[in-house]
Amino acid sequence: MAGTPIIVADAVSKKFGDHQVLTRVTLPVMERDVVCVVGPSGSGKTTLLRCLALLETPSEGRVVMQGTAISTPGQEKPVKAAARAVRSDIGMVFQHFNLWPHMTVLENLIEAPIRVKKLPKDQAVAIAERLLAKVDLSEKRDAYPARLSGGQQQRVAIARALAMSPKVLLFDEATSALDPELRREVLLVMRQLAQEGMTMLVVTHEMNFARHVGTRTAFMDRGEIVEEAPGAAFFDAPKTERAQRFLQQFEE
């Protein structure tokens, strides 16, 4: 794991009013890494992800992308400019999909490439069609999101994020809002991406995914990273008591 990380949370703290959500969290994500962040709800996983997605500003610390600070508490001018430059290199998949309901599946996919990357429409459409085939939804090209199942919507959302060819893809509990039988199809797509070498940071409750697909697992509790271990090691031999107790819940 040599070289510069793609994206790093560097001693990031986040406070909402008096409530300390993150305390000096440091988490580098290397190229082709699939870092899974697990932990009880309210442990700050989502806030950490939102800081990396530039949806929240850290109260302390900074977010660094390939050596350049892109988010700091002061949001100074050069930092903001750097953030704008790498904005679409950071993709995000949300728990509630957040597809735009007034646009068809295809329109959802080509909107950002056309408006942000200024791609010609036919090129954007070609990319979108290729990605839809990849998530196995070619036949839904002209459907509106409301006509799709949750699992299908989330696969479209993944394709939409991929359409900007991001360098890192953040998943915020991407399967939590789905019925168990719909989770599989989304997890399969995520697994396929991981195998293709996509750099991913995955906040999840899917322990099997973290164990078998993740290259590293970070365990968070009360706003801190308590334990971090490569791949399955975290699950086979959790070191801290907190992690052991957390993992026990999944054993029954």
Partner 1 sequence: MFKYQFRWDTVWGSFDFLMSGLQMTLVISAITLVLAMVLGLVIALMDMSRFAPLRWIGVSIGEVIRNTPILVQLLWVYYVLPIVFSVRIESLTALVIGLSLYQAAFISEVYRSGIQGVPKGHREAAQVLGLTPTQSFFRIVLPQAVRMTLPPLASNFVQLIKFSSLGAVISVSEITRRGMELSATNFRPLETFTFIAVVYFLICWPLAMGIRWWERRLQAR
**Interface positions with partner 1 (CB under 8 A):** 53-55, 87-88, 90-92, 94, 96, 98-102, 111-112, 115-117, 146, 157, 160-161, 164
Q: How far is the CB of 158 from partner 1 (least distance, A)?
A: 12
Q: How far is the CB of 164 from partner 1 (least distance, A)?
A: 6
The residue (of 92 and 148) whose beta carbon lies closer to partner 1 is 92
What is the 3 state secondary structure string of the chain?
A: CCCCCCEEEEEEEEEECCEEEEEEEEEEECCCCEEEEECCCCCCHHHHHHHHCCCCCCCEEEEEECCEEEECCCCCHHHHHHHHHHHHHEEEECCCCCCCCCCCHHHHHHHHHHHCCCCCHHHHHHHHHHHHHHCCCHHHCCCCHHHCCHHHHHHHHHHHHHCCCCCEEEEECCCCCCCHHHHHHHHHHHHHHHHCCCCEEEECCCHHHHHHCCCEEEEEECCEEEEEEECCHHHHCCCCHHHHHHHHCCCC
Q: How far is the CB of 30 from partner 1 (least distance, A)?
A: 22
The residue (of 164 and 193) whose beta carbon lies closer to partner 1 is 164
Q: How far is the CB of 252 from partner 1 (least distance, A)?
A: 33
Q: How far is the CB of 12 from partner 1 (least distance, A)?
A: 18
The residue (of 115 and 184) whose beta carbon lies closer to partner 1 is 115
The residue (of 115 and 212) whose beta carbon lies closer to partner 1 is 115
The residue (of 99 and 203) whose beta carbon lies closer to partner 1 is 99
